[in-house]
Structure 1
Protein backbone atom coordinates (compact mmCIF):
# COMPACT_ATOMS: atom_id res chain seq x y z
CA UNK A 1 0.00 0.00 0.00
CA UNK A 2 1.47 3.36 -0.99
CA UNK A 3 -0.16 6.30 0.79
CA UNK A 4 0.39 9.52 -1.14
CA UNK A 5 -1.68 12.36 0.26
CA UNK A 6 -0.67 15.97 -0.10
CA UNK A 7 -2.08 19.45 0.25
CA UNK A 8 0.01 22.61 0.46
CA UNK A 9 -1.78 25.84 1.33
CA UNK A 10 -0.60 29.08 -0.23
CA UNK A 11 0.70 31.64 0.57
CA UNK A 12 3.67 30.93 2.85
CA UNK A 13 2.08 31.53 6.25
CA UNK A 14 3.94 33.76 8.68
CA UNK A 15 3.15 34.96 12.17
CA UNK A 16 4.82 38.28 11.40
CA UNK A 17 2.54 39.23 8.52
CA UNK A 18 -0.67 37.91 10.10
CA UNK A 19 -1.23 35.37 7.30
CA UNK A 20 -1.86 32.32 9.50
CA UNK A 21 -4.97 30.42 8.46
CA UNK A 22 -5.83 27.92 11.17
CA UNK A 23 -8.63 26.28 9.19
CA UNK A 24 -6.21 25.58 6.33
CA UNK A 25 -3.64 24.23 8.80
CA UNK A 26 -6.21 21.78 10.15
CA UNK A 27 -7.11 20.79 6.58
CA UNK A 28 -3.44 20.04 5.87
CA UNK A 29 -3.17 17.92 9.03
CA UNK A 30 -6.41 16.12 8.15
CA UNK A 31 -5.19 15.25 4.65
CA UNK A 32 -1.44 14.75 5.12
CA UNK A 33 -1.31 13.16 8.59
CA UNK A 34 -4.67 11.53 9.17
CA UNK A 35 -5.16 10.42 5.55
CA UNK A 36 -2.47 7.71 5.61
CA UNK A 37 -3.55 6.66 9.11
CA UNK A 38 -7.15 6.23 7.91
CA UNK A 39 -6.10 4.15 4.91
CA UNK A 40 -3.73 1.90 6.86
CA UNK A 41 -6.23 1.43 9.67
CA UNK A 42 -8.96 0.47 7.19
CA UNK A 43 -6.66 -2.00 5.41
CA UNK A 44 -5.53 -3.66 8.65
CA UNK A 45 -9.02 -3.85 10.15
CA UNK A 46 -10.50 -5.27 6.94
CA UNK A 47 -7.81 -7.97 6.93
CA UNK A 48 -7.04 -6.81 3.40
CA UNK A 49 -3.25 -7.09 3.62
CA UNK A 50 -0.91 -9.92 2.72
CA UNK A 51 0.99 -11.33 5.68
CA UNK A 52 4.18 -9.60 4.54
CA UNK A 53 2.57 -6.35 3.36
CA UNK A 54 4.50 -3.11 3.05
CA UNK A 55 2.73 0.05 4.14
CA UNK A 56 4.48 3.03 2.58
CA UNK A 57 3.77 6.57 3.70
CA UNK A 58 4.86 9.33 1.34
CA UNK A 59 5.79 12.24 3.57
CA UNK A 60 8.34 15.03 3.52
CA UNK A 61 11.58 16.18 5.01
CA UNK A 62 9.51 19.26 5.91
CA UNK A 63 8.41 17.27 8.97
CA UNK A 64 11.99 16.82 10.22
CA UNK A 65 12.68 19.07 13.19
CA UNK A 66 16.43 18.46 12.77
CA UNK A 67 16.49 19.59 9.15
CA UNK A 68 14.73 22.84 10.01
CA UNK A 69 17.98 24.00 11.62
CA UNK A 70 19.76 23.77 8.27
CA UNK A 71 17.18 23.93 5.49
CA UNK A 72 15.46 27.30 5.19
CA UNK A 73 17.28 28.26 8.39
CA UNK A 74 15.82 31.20 10.29
CA UNK A 75 12.92 31.59 7.86
CA UNK A 76 10.07 29.83 9.65
CA UNK A 77 6.69 29.93 7.96
CA UNK A 78 4.56 27.37 6.14
CA UNK A 79 3.28 26.25 9.54
CA UNK A 80 0.48 24.01 8.31
CA UNK A 81 2.75 22.16 5.89
CA UNK A 82 5.52 21.51 8.40
CA UNK A 83 3.12 20.60 11.21
CA UNK A 84 1.13 18.23 8.98
CA UNK A 85 4.28 16.42 7.88
CA UNK A 86 5.64 16.19 11.44
CA UNK A 87 2.29 14.71 12.52
CA UNK A 88 2.40 12.30 9.58
CA UNK A 89 5.91 11.23 10.53
CA UNK A 90 5.09 10.46 14.17
CA UNK A 91 1.92 8.64 13.08
CA UNK A 92 4.05 6.53 10.73
CA UNK A 93 6.58 5.77 13.48
CA UNK A 94 3.77 4.69 15.81
CA UNK A 95 2.19 2.50 13.11
CA UNK A 96 5.57 0.86 12.52
CA UNK A 97 5.83 0.00 16.21
CA UNK A 98 2.26 -1.26 16.48
CA UNK A 99 2.18 -3.28 13.26
CA UNK A 100 5.66 -4.82 13.43
CA UNK A 101 4.36 -7.76 15.47
CA UNK A 102 1.84 -8.48 12.70
CA UNK A 103 4.69 -8.83 10.20
CA UNK A 104 3.97 -5.62 8.30
CA UNK A 105 6.72 -3.29 7.13
CA UNK A 106 5.91 0.40 7.58
CA UNK A 107 8.30 2.91 6.01
CA UNK A 108 8.16 6.65 5.55
CA UNK A 109 9.54 8.06 2.31
CA UNK A 110 10.50 11.58 1.30
CA UNK A 111 10.25 11.41 -2.51
CA UNK A 112 12.55 14.37 -3.01
CA UNK A 113 11.78 17.78 -4.45
CA UNK A 114 9.31 17.23 -7.30
CA UNK A 115 8.06 19.69 -9.90
CA UNK A 116 4.35 19.58 -9.11
CA UNK A 117 1.47 21.99 -8.71
CA UNK A 118 1.96 21.63 -4.96
CA UNK A 119 5.55 22.97 -5.16
CA UNK A 120 4.90 25.51 -7.91
CA UNK A 121 5.25 28.39 -5.46
CA UNK A 122 8.94 27.38 -5.32
CA UNK A 123 9.32 27.19 -9.10
CA UNK A 124 12.10 29.80 -9.00
CA UNK A 125 14.39 27.34 -7.17
CA UNK A 126 13.41 24.10 -8.94
CA UNK A 127 16.63 24.06 -11.01
CA UNK A 128 18.87 25.28 -8.18
CA UNK A 129 17.54 22.65 -5.75
CA UNK A 130 17.40 19.81 -8.29
CA UNK A 131 13.64 19.35 -8.43
CA UNK A 132 12.68 16.39 -10.61
CA UNK A 133 9.67 15.53 -12.71
CA UNK A 134 7.00 13.48 -10.89
CA UNK A 135 7.80 10.36 -12.94
CA UNK A 136 11.36 10.36 -11.56
CA UNK A 137 10.06 10.94 -8.02
CA UNK A 138 7.70 7.98 -8.46
CA UNK A 139 10.54 5.74 -9.69
CA UNK A 140 12.54 6.64 -6.58
CA UNK A 141 9.59 5.73 -4.36
CA UNK A 142 9.10 2.39 -6.12
CA UNK A 143 12.81 1.61 -5.82
CA UNK A 144 12.89 2.28 -2.06
CA UNK A 145 9.64 0.34 -1.61
CA UNK A 146 11.06 -2.71 -3.39
CA UNK A 147 14.30 -2.48 -1.39
CA UNK A 148 12.56 -2.21 2.00
CA UNK A 149 12.64 -5.19 4.32
CA UNK A 150 11.11 -5.86 7.72
CA UNK A 151 14.34 -4.53 9.26
CA UNK A 152 13.56 -1.15 7.68
CA UNK A 153 10.21 -0.77 9.41
CA UNK A 154 9.90 2.63 11.04
CA UNK A 155 12.65 4.22 8.94
CA UNK A 156 12.28 7.70 7.43
CA UNK A 157 14.14 7.47 4.11
CA UNK A 158 15.17 10.14 1.62
CA UNK A 159 14.45 8.74 -1.85
CA UNK A 160 16.98 11.14 -3.38
CA UNK A 161 19.91 9.25 -1.85
CA UNK A 162 18.48 6.33 0.16
CA UNK A 163 19.76 7.77 3.44
CA UNK A 164 17.84 8.15 6.67
CA UNK A 165 16.30 11.53 7.46
CA UNK A 166 16.67 12.60 11.09
CA UNK A 167 13.52 13.20 13.07
Structure 2
Protein backbone atom coordinates (compact mmCIF):
# COMPACT_ATOMS: atom_id res chain seq x y z
CA UNK A 1 0.00 0.00 0.00
CA UNK A 2 1.54 3.36 -1.01
CA UNK A 3 1.61 6.07 1.65
CA UNK A 4 1.39 9.85 1.88
CA UNK A 5 1.96 12.29 4.73
CA UNK A 6 -0.04 15.53 4.46
CA UNK A 7 0.52 18.70 6.49
CA UNK A 8 -2.40 21.01 7.23
CA UNK A 9 -4.92 18.24 6.57
CA UNK A 10 -7.69 19.51 8.84
CA UNK A 11 -9.57 21.60 6.27
CA UNK A 12 -9.71 22.92 2.72
CA UNK A 13 -7.29 21.43 0.24
CA UNK A 14 -5.50 19.37 2.90
CA UNK A 15 -8.73 17.65 3.88
CA UNK A 16 -9.54 17.00 0.21
CA UNK A 17 -6.07 15.54 -0.43
CA UNK A 18 -6.59 13.22 2.54
CA UNK A 19 -10.04 12.15 1.35
CA UNK A 20 -9.05 11.43 -2.23
CA UNK A 21 -5.92 9.47 -1.41
CA UNK A 22 -7.58 7.46 1.38
CA UNK A 23 -10.52 6.61 -0.88
CA UNK A 24 -8.13 5.28 -3.53
CA UNK A 25 -6.52 2.88 -1.06
CA UNK A 26 -3.46 4.85 0.03
CA UNK A 27 -2.25 4.91 3.61
CA UNK A 28 -2.76 8.55 4.63
CA UNK A 29 -0.94 10.13 7.56
CA UNK A 30 -2.94 13.32 8.02
CA UNK A 31 -1.32 15.95 10.22
CA UNK A 32 -2.52 19.22 11.71
CA UNK A 33 -1.86 21.41 14.75
CA UNK A 34 -4.97 20.41 16.70
CA UNK A 35 -6.30 16.96 15.75
CA UNK A 36 -8.83 17.09 18.60
CA UNK A 37 -10.52 20.09 16.93
CA UNK A 38 -10.38 18.67 13.39
CA UNK A 39 -13.92 17.28 13.37
CA UNK A 40 -14.23 16.74 9.61
CA UNK A 41 -10.89 14.96 9.53
CA UNK A 42 -11.92 12.80 12.49
CA UNK A 43 -15.13 11.83 10.67
CA UNK A 44 -13.09 10.96 7.60
CA UNK A 45 -10.78 8.77 9.69
CA UNK A 46 -13.76 6.91 11.16
CA UNK A 47 -15.02 6.17 7.66
CA UNK A 48 -11.65 5.36 6.07
CA UNK A 49 -9.39 3.15 8.21
CA UNK A 50 -6.44 3.84 5.90
CA UNK A 51 -6.31 7.37 7.36
CA UNK A 52 -4.64 8.23 10.67
CA UNK A 53 -4.37 11.57 12.48
CA UNK A 54 -1.14 13.02 13.86
CA UNK A 55 -0.35 16.24 15.70
CA UNK A 56 2.09 18.47 13.84
CA UNK A 57 2.83 22.19 13.95
CA UNK A 58 5.31 22.79 11.11
CA UNK A 59 6.84 25.73 13.02
CA UNK A 60 7.68 23.56 16.05
CA UNK A 61 11.05 21.91 15.37
CA UNK A 62 10.81 19.57 18.37
CA UNK A 63 7.35 18.40 17.31
CA UNK A 64 8.53 17.76 13.75
CA UNK A 65 11.50 15.73 14.99
CA UNK A 66 9.26 13.81 17.40
CA UNK A 67 6.81 12.75 14.69
CA UNK A 68 9.63 11.79 12.33
CA UNK A 69 11.06 9.64 15.11
CA UNK A 70 7.70 8.06 15.92
CA UNK A 71 7.33 7.13 12.24
CA UNK A 72 10.87 5.78 11.95
CA UNK A 73 10.84 2.86 9.53
CA UNK A 74 7.75 4.09 7.67
CA UNK A 75 8.24 4.57 3.91
CA UNK A 76 6.54 7.69 2.56
CA UNK A 77 5.87 7.58 -1.16
CA UNK A 78 4.71 11.20 -1.12
CA UNK A 79 5.46 13.93 1.40
CA UNK A 80 2.90 16.68 0.80
CA UNK A 81 3.74 20.13 2.17
CA UNK A 82 0.28 21.67 2.21
CA UNK A 83 0.17 23.74 5.44
CA UNK A 84 0.11 27.47 4.86
CA UNK A 85 -1.30 30.82 6.01
CA UNK A 86 -2.34 34.01 4.21
CA UNK A 87 -2.67 36.81 6.75
CA UNK A 88 -3.33 39.51 4.15
CA UNK A 89 -6.66 37.89 3.36
CA UNK A 90 -7.97 39.48 6.55
CA UNK A 91 -6.13 42.84 6.47
CA UNK A 92 -4.17 44.03 3.44
CA UNK A 93 -0.92 45.65 4.65
CA UNK A 94 -0.38 49.36 4.03
CA UNK A 95 3.05 50.81 3.40
CA UNK A 96 4.19 52.57 6.54
CA UNK A 97 2.14 50.19 8.69
CA UNK A 98 3.59 46.81 7.77
CA UNK A 99 3.31 44.11 10.43
CA UNK A 100 6.77 42.59 10.49
CA UNK A 101 5.80 40.04 13.12
CA UNK A 102 3.00 38.85 10.84
CA UNK A 103 5.44 38.77 7.93
CA UNK A 104 7.87 36.66 9.95
CA UNK A 105 5.08 34.29 11.00
CA UNK A 106 3.98 33.88 7.38
CA UNK A 107 7.52 32.93 6.36
CA UNK A 108 7.87 30.64 9.39
CA UNK A 109 4.84 28.61 8.25
CA UNK A 110 4.91 28.86 4.47
CA UNK A 111 8.65 28.68 3.84
CA UNK A 112 10.60 27.40 6.82
CA UNK A 113 7.86 24.98 7.87
CA UNK A 114 7.84 23.21 4.51
CA UNK A 115 11.63 22.97 4.42
CA UNK A 116 11.79 21.78 8.04
CA UNK A 117 9.27 18.99 7.41
CA UNK A 118 11.01 17.97 4.18
CA UNK A 119 14.39 17.76 5.91
CA UNK A 120 12.99 15.72 8.79
CA UNK A 121 11.27 13.14 6.57
CA UNK A 122 13.85 12.69 3.81
CA UNK A 123 14.86 9.22 4.96
CA UNK A 124 11.21 8.16 5.05
CA UNK A 125 10.75 9.34 1.47
CA UNK A 126 14.05 7.78 0.34
CA UNK A 127 12.98 4.29 1.38
CA UNK A 128 9.73 4.40 -0.62
CA UNK A 129 8.93 3.44 -4.20
CA UNK A 130 7.64 6.84 -5.42
CA UNK A 131 10.19 9.04 -3.56
CA UNK A 132 8.41 12.36 -4.14
CA UNK A 133 8.17 15.63 -2.22
CA UNK A 134 5.16 17.71 -3.32
CA UNK A 135 4.87 21.30 -2.15
CA UNK A 136 1.80 23.49 -2.53
CA UNK A 137 3.02 26.84 -3.77
CA UNK A 138 1.09 29.69 -5.34
CA UNK A 139 1.26 31.67 -8.57
CA UNK A 140 1.58 34.64 -6.21
CA UNK A 141 5.12 33.42 -5.59
CA UNK A 142 5.94 33.98 -9.25
CA UNK A 143 7.93 37.23 -9.48
CA UNK A 144 7.14 37.40 -13.20
CA UNK A 145 3.40 37.47 -12.43
CA UNK A 146 3.47 40.36 -9.92
CA UNK A 147 1.40 43.11 -11.52
CA UNK A 148 -0.15 44.82 -8.49
CA UNK A 149 0.98 45.98 -5.04
CA UNK A 150 0.13 44.20 -1.78
CA UNK A 151 0.25 40.71 -0.30
CA UNK A 152 3.90 41.31 0.55
CA UNK A 153 4.06 38.67 3.27
CA UNK A 154 2.39 35.90 1.32
CA UNK A 155 4.08 36.63 -2.03
CA UNK A 156 7.56 36.75 -0.54
CA UNK A 157 7.01 33.60 1.54
CA UNK A 158 5.93 31.66 -1.55
CA UNK A 159 8.73 33.07 -3.72
CA UNK A 160 11.22 32.00 -1.05
CA UNK A 161 9.53 28.60 -0.91
CA UNK A 162 10.00 28.23 -4.67
CA UNK A 163 13.69 29.08 -4.40
CA UNK A 164 14.22 26.66 -1.51
CA UNK A 165 12.40 23.80 -3.23
CA UNK A 166 14.27 24.42 -6.49
CA UNK A 167 17.53 24.10 -4.58
CA UNK A 168 16.34 21.00 -2.73
CA UNK A 169 15.41 19.43 -6.07
CA UNK A 170 19.04 19.69 -7.16
CA UNK A 171 20.31 18.31 -3.86
CA UNK A 172 17.89 15.36 -3.83
CA UNK A 173 18.09 14.32 -7.47
CA UNK A 174 21.16 12.09 -6.88
CA UNK A 175 19.13 10.17 -4.26
CA UNK A 176 16.32 9.62 -6.76
CA UNK A 177 13.97 11.90 -4.80
CA UNK A 178 11.82 14.26 -6.85
CA UNK A 179 10.45 17.67 -5.88
CA UNK A 180 7.25 18.99 -7.45
CA UNK A 181 5.82 22.48 -6.80
CA UNK A 182 2.11 22.91 -7.52
CA UNK A 183 -0.24 25.91 -7.66
CA UNK A 184 -3.77 24.75 -6.77
CA UNK A 185 -5.57 27.60 -8.51
CA UNK A 186 -8.12 29.88 -6.87
CA UNK A 187 -10.07 27.38 -4.78
CA UNK A 188 -13.28 27.73 -2.78
CA UNK A 189 -11.80 27.20 0.67
CA UNK A 190 -11.59 29.38 3.78
CA UNK A 191 -8.41 30.90 2.33
CA UNK A 192 -9.77 31.25 -1.21
CA UNK A 193 -13.19 32.55 -0.21
CA UNK A 194 -16.71 31.81 -1.51
CA UNK A 195 -16.21 33.48 -4.91
CA UNK A 196 -13.38 31.22 -6.03
CA UNK A 197 -14.21 29.36 -9.27
CA UNK A 198 -12.65 26.00 -8.36
CA UNK A 199 -13.95 23.39 -5.96
CA UNK A 200 -11.34 21.60 -3.82
CA UNK A 201 -12.05 18.26 -5.50
CA UNK A 202 -11.39 19.76 -8.96
CA UNK A 203 -8.12 21.31 -7.87
CA UNK A 204 -6.83 18.19 -6.14
CA UNK A 205 -7.82 15.95 -9.06
CA UNK A 206 -5.81 18.17 -11.39
CA UNK A 207 -2.78 18.20 -9.09
CA UNK A 208 -2.94 14.44 -8.65
CA UNK A 209 -2.74 14.12 -12.45
CA UNK A 210 0.53 16.11 -12.35
CA UNK A 211 1.81 13.76 -9.66
CA UNK A 212 0.89 10.73 -11.75
CA UNK A 213 2.79 12.17 -14.73
CA UNK A 214 5.86 13.13 -12.72
CA UNK A 215 9.32 11.89 -13.64
CA UNK A 216 12.70 13.09 -12.38
CA UNK A 217 12.92 15.21 -15.53
CA UNK A 218 10.24 17.40 -13.89
CA UNK A 219 12.00 17.81 -10.54
CA UNK A 220 12.11 21.38 -9.32
CA UNK A 221 9.48 22.59 -11.79
CA UNK A 222 6.43 24.71 -10.95
CA UNK A 223 3.01 23.78 -12.37
CA UNK A 224 -0.60 24.96 -12.14
CA UNK A 225 -3.26 22.45 -11.13
CA UNK A 226 -4.09 22.04 -14.84
CA UNK A 227 -0.55 20.98 -15.75
CA UNK A 228 0.66 24.22 -17.33
CA UNK A 229 4.05 25.50 -16.17
CA UNK A 230 4.36 28.76 -14.23
CA UNK A 231 7.29 31.18 -14.74
CA UNK A 232 9.48 31.92 -11.76
Instruction: State the TM-score, normalizing by the size of structure 2.
Output: 0.62
Alpha-carbon distance in 2 for matches of 1:2, 1:60:
14
1:118 to 188, 191, 203: 191
Which structure carries more strand by proportion?
Answer: 2
- Kept in 1: contact 2:135–2:182 (CA 8 A): yes
Q: Displacement, 1:85?
A: 0.5
Which residue does 1:147 correspond to in 2?
213
Alpha-carbon distance in 1 for matches of 2:159, 2:216:
23
Aligned pairs for 1:2-81 (under 5 A) are: 2-9=80-87, 10-15=90-95, 18-44=96-122, 47-49=123-125, 50=128, 52-68=130-146, 73=147, 75-81=148-154
Q: Displacement, 1:158?
A: 1.1
Which residue does 2:13 correspond to in 1?
none
Structure 2 unaligned blocks of 5 or more? 1-78
Which residue does 2:177 correspond to in 1?
104
Deviation string 1:66-101 (CA, Å, 9 cap, x unpaired) is 011xxxx2x311110101100111011011010001
Alpha-carbon distance in 2 for matches of 1:152, 1:77:
31
- Kept in 2: contact 1:93–1:154 (CA 8 A): yes
Q: Give the structure, 1 or 2, with the largest relative contact order (CA under 8 Å, sep 6 or more).
A: 1
Alpha-carbon distance in 2 for matches of 1:51, 1:21:
44
Q: Extract structure 1 runs of 4+ deviating beyond 4 A.
A: none
Tell me if 1:86 matches 2:159.
yes
The CA RMSD measured in Å over matched residues stands at: 1.4
Which residue does 2:228 correspond to in 1?
163
- Kept in 2: contact 1:2–1:56 (CA 8 A): yes
- Kept in 2: contact 1:64–1:166 (CA 8 A): yes
